[in-house]
Every structure is written in structure tokens, then in C-alpha cells.
Amino acid sequence: MRAQPSTVVTRDELIQALIPDRVRQGAAYQVPDATGMIKLDAMENPYTWPQSLRDALAHRLADCALNRYPDPHAEAIRAPLRQWMQIPESLGLLFGNGSDEIIALLISNLIGTGRSVCAPDPSFVMFQVLANQYTVPFRALPLDSEFDIDIDGWMDGLMEADPALIFIPQPNNPTGNLFSKDRLTQIVESTQALIVIDEAYTAFTDADYLDWAVRYPNVVVMRTLSKVGLAGSRFGMLIGHPDWIVEFDKIRLPYNINVMSQTAVQFALEHASTLEEQSRRIRDERTRLTALLAQRGYTVWPSEANFVVVECGDQSARTLFEGLKQHRILVKCLDGSHPRLANTLRLTVGTPEESDALLAALDQLVSS
């Protein structure tokens, strides 16, 4: 007997039926075009490597076996990374295609459990974006007037939300500050949730919480190499007790770090002094840029990261943002993203030459 043909439907009807409302009504993550611009919007390292290192890396990459799958655990990276970051042998490592993949992995583990995710507010947008994508409940936790942890607000929020997972950037993005160690200790010791301390900006601060992953059973640490000059390689890591790492490795996609990235990261670790020297230059430039902005009357928020947030005062942040684009300079306008960030710009710390161009453009825009 011949099978009956299925009812003919249109592609639009199929999309309506098969793609959830939350996806169809949303939008793809937008990255602005920075072609031909001074790029000060995404907290990248502004420095390239010396030509001799680039030539040596090109030679190394030429030998990559692109016809083979990469090492699924990136074993060649583990020992040099552990040595450079002084990661205790008692802690395990899980690598991700940038921190975003690790955040997604941790949140996806909660699908269908009814348990929630918490993070400071304001903070890194991907915590909430990925929770929403995976239909995992998300609870924002308030910050006080100094953008530190609001202890009473957090205790109330954690009691109501009963989260399984709490992300705490240290320092925070987009505010740039470190949370009080005393308040952070109170949170860690008062919850049974897994706390992920996100140290994306560890190269630009003296704060270090690796020992907390040893001391506390409910703490792991997340780091990335993006901010020290390897944003293009997309390499992040989760550092924690081996018992945590074993469980999360079960839901990690295989071959998630491609062979080119593994080779580039291994090469960079062999020349870690270059990464360290560039990070020192960024910290120095952060100090200089902060002082020069303050001299011009801008309120600059204290920062332990590779960016600064400025309040624009009598000037409109949106107008300055658009004006800077006309000067071929791209920064991040935070105005409208959160009530606490009204009329502010986030400026990635670039080279001294890029900072000078930024300041000159701001001067011209204000005087015109």
C-alpha cells in the first residue's frame, strides 16, 4: 500500500511550529562592525606580537594536522598553563571554546531541573542571555551604591531563588570593580550553590581566588586567555576540584578546542613573558588614561580590569558615542543597558597612541 503524502506546509509554517517563540521573538547577538576603526569596545589586548614571534607561530601552524581531529583534552597545554598560572596540582582543568562555552555548559546542566542561576546586576550579559536560551530561571542580585555586593539583597534573593549556580565576576564587568572579599566570603559560606568566580580580568588585578577552589567545596574558578592577547583563539578554562571537573567533562562537546587554537595557545605559553609585558603596559596605560579623563572633568570609576567606565556629566554618552564613531573610534555605550549605567561609556584601554586619539576626539566633540 502506497504511503499517503504528507500535508504540504510552507517553510514559514514549519518555522512557526518547530522554532520556540522565545527564539523567534529574540535576536542574534550583535557585534558591531569595527572595520577601519580604533577598536576600544570589547576589552581586547591592543598589542600584536613582535614580528619574530609571528613568523615563528606561522611556521608552527603550518605543521598542524588539519586533516585530523584535535587532541580532545588539549594535553600539551595543561602543564605549561598550570605552571604559568600557578594552578595547584590538587585542582583539575576543563577547557572551553572561550568562557562563553563554559558558561553555556554549566547552565545547560540545569535544564529541566527547575533550579535557577544567579549573578550580580549589572554584570556580564551572557549569564542571563544563556540562562534564557536554555529556559533556566535567572535571578539578578543587587549591588550597593558602590557596586559592591548588597549583602541583605543577596541573602534575600538567594533564599527566594534557591539557585544551583551563582556566577560572580571578580572584577566585575561592566563596572570594573572588585567585590569585597569579606562580603564574598559571607556569600560562599551561606549557600550550597556552586559558585563560579569569573576571573576573566585576572591579568589586570592583584586579586586571585584560585585558593578558594581548594578551600571551599562549592567554589570553582573560570579564566580566559582572551584578555591577554588570545581573543582570536577562543580559549577559556574552568578550574576546580577534580570531582567537579569530571562531572562537567561529561557534558563537554568533544574536540571543542580546534588544532589551530591548541597550537597557538601552546606557543603563547612558551612566550608568556610577552603576554605579561603587554598586560603590564595595559595596566600602566589604564592609570594614565584614568588621570587624563579625570583632568577633563569626567568621573572615572575605579577599575581593576582592562577598561574604564566614565560618567559623561553634562555631555550625552549617546552623542559622544556616535561622534566617536565619526572619528573612526568604537567604544561601548552603556547608556540604556541598565539604570545604574545611565549616561556612561565603557572604554577599553588601548595603546597610548589610541588613548591619545580617543582623548583628542572627545576634546573636539565637547568643544564643537
Cβ proximity of 163 and 117 under 8 Å: yes
Entry pTM? 0.94
Looking at the fold, whether 265 and 322 belong to one and the same domain comes out as no
Would you say residue 22 lies in a domain?
A: no
Q: How far apart are CA 224 and CA 207, in angstroms?
A: 15
Looking at the fold, whether 219 and 280 belong to one and the same domain comes out as no
* Torsion, Cα of 303, 306, 309, 310 (10° steps): 100
Collapsed DSSP state (helix, strand, coil) of residue 22: helix
Would you say residue 35 lies in a domain?
A: no
DSSP 329: E
DSSP bridge partners of 198: 169, 222
Looking at the fold, whether 218 and 334 belong to one and the same domain comes out as no
State the CATH number of the domain containing residue 145.
3.40.640.10
Residue 125: C-alpha distances to residues 258, 276, 334 (Å): 26, 28, 12
Cβ proximity of 131 and 107 under 8 Å: yes
Number of domains in the chain: 2
Would you say residue 127 lies in a domain?
A: yes
Q: What is the extent of the structural domain holding 190?
A: 67-270
Looking at the fold, whether 83 and 188 belong to one and the same domain comes out as yes
Cβ proximity of 223 and 85 under 8 Å: yes
Would you say residue 32 lies in a domain?
A: no
Looking at the fold, whether 186 and 329 belong to one and the same domain comes out as no
Would you say residue 61 lies in a domain?
A: no
Mean pLDDT confidence for 105-121 = 96
Would you say residue 9 lies in a domain?
A: no
Residue type, 200: A
Q: How far apart are CA 5 and CA 354, in angstroms?
A: 64
- At residue 1 the predicted structure's pLDDT band, cuts being 50, 70 and 90, is low
pLDDT digits (tens, 9 = 90+) for 277-308: 999 999 999 999 999 999 999 999 999 999 99
Would you say residue 170 lies in a domain?
A: yes
pLDDT digits (tens, 9 = 90+) for 155-182: 999 999 999 999 999 999 999 999 999 9
- pLDDT of 253 over the 90 cut: yes
State the CATH number of the domain containing residue 284.
3.90.1150.10
Alpha carbon 27 to its chain's center = 20
Tell me the backbone φ, ψ of residue 310, rounded to 5 degrees.
-120, 135
Looking at the fold, whether 184 and 226 belong to one and the same domain comes out as yes
Looking at the fold, whether 262 and 322 belong to one and the same domain comes out as no
Cβ proximity of 240 and 212 under 8 Å: no
Collapsed DSSP state (helix, strand, coil) of residue 272: helix
Residue 184: C-alpha distances to residues 59, 191, 246 (Å): 46, 11, 26
Q: How many residues appear in the chain?
A: 368
Cis peptide before 171 (omega within 30 of 0): yes
Looking at the fold, whether 309 and 183 belong to one and the same domain comes out as no
Looking at the fold, whether 215 and 346 belong to one and the same domain comes out as no
DSSP line for 64-133: --TTSPPPTT-HHHHHHHHHHHT--TTSEEEEESHHHHHHHHHHHTTTTT---EEEEES--HHHHHHHHH
- pLDDT of 3 over the 90 cut: no
DSSP 149: B
Q: Apex CA 352: angle with CA 350 and CA 357, to 5°?
A: 85
pLDDT digits (tens, 9 = 90+) for 326-363: 999 999 999 999 999 999 999 999 999 999 999 999 99
Would you say residue 209 lies in a domain?
A: yes
